[in-house]
Amino acid sequence: MVEDKKDKTQKKTILHPRNKHRDRYDFKLLIGSCPELAKYVKTNAYGDESIDFANPKAVKWLNKSLLKQYYSIEYWDVPSGYLCPPIPGRADYIHHIAELIGKSNGGKTPVGNKIKIMDIGVGVSCIYPIIGNKEYGWSFIGTDIDQAALESAKKIITNNAFLKKNIELRFQENPNDVFHGVMERTEAIDIAICNPPFHSSMEEAQKGTLRKISSLTHKKATTAVLNFGGQSNELWCEGGEERFIRNMIRQSKQFSANCFWFSTLVAKQIHVAPLLEALKTAGALDVKTIQMEQGTKISRIIAWTFLSQTQQKKWKETKWDAL
């Protein structure tokens, strides 16, 4: 168990107190883990060591070095054209859900592979299972509608021995389903997590990608770069994130007894109020909204449960107290 205590020496950062990436990147340390990163490290206009975050190769090698240095990952890669995830932000989601589970368990975060997390849309990078397993020892079920994504995730798992017994991958055959077909009604899932596609069309997603590149390069971008473009199912779906999460809420009700917490990232603040109303309509008994910030980027987690206080107490006594 990990005790949830306030850090009296908390640093001036907006990342979660347990996040290993709260300080500036230590490039000397990271280059020691991955010497290949050195060719991409330059001194920026402020006199600090950094990389060109608009360069996909630089970002990939930064990720490789972070994952090796902090999470013991010897092999990691993402295919060209897929998203290369920012490690600090992904780690923040994991630490916030750990705190959420801990608050449901008397302030102690359960650790070890008896804790089972379902990652809806595990993606090519397998990033949430990697961080969650290394930080808390949790086991994961990663689902995806993209076979190529699962093949990439499988390669990462296969080439990092400690992940093999802790991460299971499941193919979601129906892209309209979130839990049906991948969540068994007889298994106990402690929390489901999700980073949904947040755009509603390919055009909107492309505009968002160009805005991101323009912000990184400080000049107007007209074409997307590989590894910043992303695949359609990563970035957009019909109706965008609001419709996706509404569908997730509807389906979660049908699996209410065998999953303690359901959760998802919500990128757009405007969607929060209607989603909270949808949860009320669905009969969620407890709902949490957790804000996350990384630099100028603000997002939030919405988490909900259908378990009564009696059911929560039984879950804690039969599963978490035994750890």
Number of domains present in the structure of the chain: 1
Structure confidence at residue 130 as a pLDDT band (50, 70, 90): very high
Is 57 inside a domain boundary? no
pLDDT given for residue 9 in this prediction: 39
Is 149 inside a domain boundary? yes
Is 12 inside a domain boundary? no
Structure confidence at residue 223 as a pLDDT band (50, 70, 90): low
Mean pLDDT of 82-102: 95
Is 309 inside a domain boundary? yes
Is 15 inside a domain boundary? no
| pLDDT per position as a tens digit, 147-201 | 999 999 999 999 999 999 999 999 999 999 999 999 999 999 999 999 998 544 4
- What do you get for the CA distance between the two ends of the chain, in Å? 8
Is 251 inside a domain boundary? yes
pLDDT given for residue 192 in this prediction: 98
Q: How far apart are CA 306 and CA 39, in angstroms?
A: 51
User: Among the listed ranges 80-84, 120-124, 285-289, 294-298, which one has the minimum average pLDDT value?
Assistant: 294-298
Q: Is the pLDDT of residue 258 over 90?
A: yes
Mean pLDDT of 227-246: 66
* CATH of residue 145: 3.40.50.150
Mean pLDDT of 14-24: 93
Is 9 inside a domain boundary? no
Structural domain harbouring 240: 79-320
More confident residue, 17 or 11: 17
Is 156 inside a domain boundary? yes
Q: Is the pLDDT of residue 315 over 50?
A: yes
Token output for 317: 């006594």
pLDDT given for residue 206 in this prediction: 54
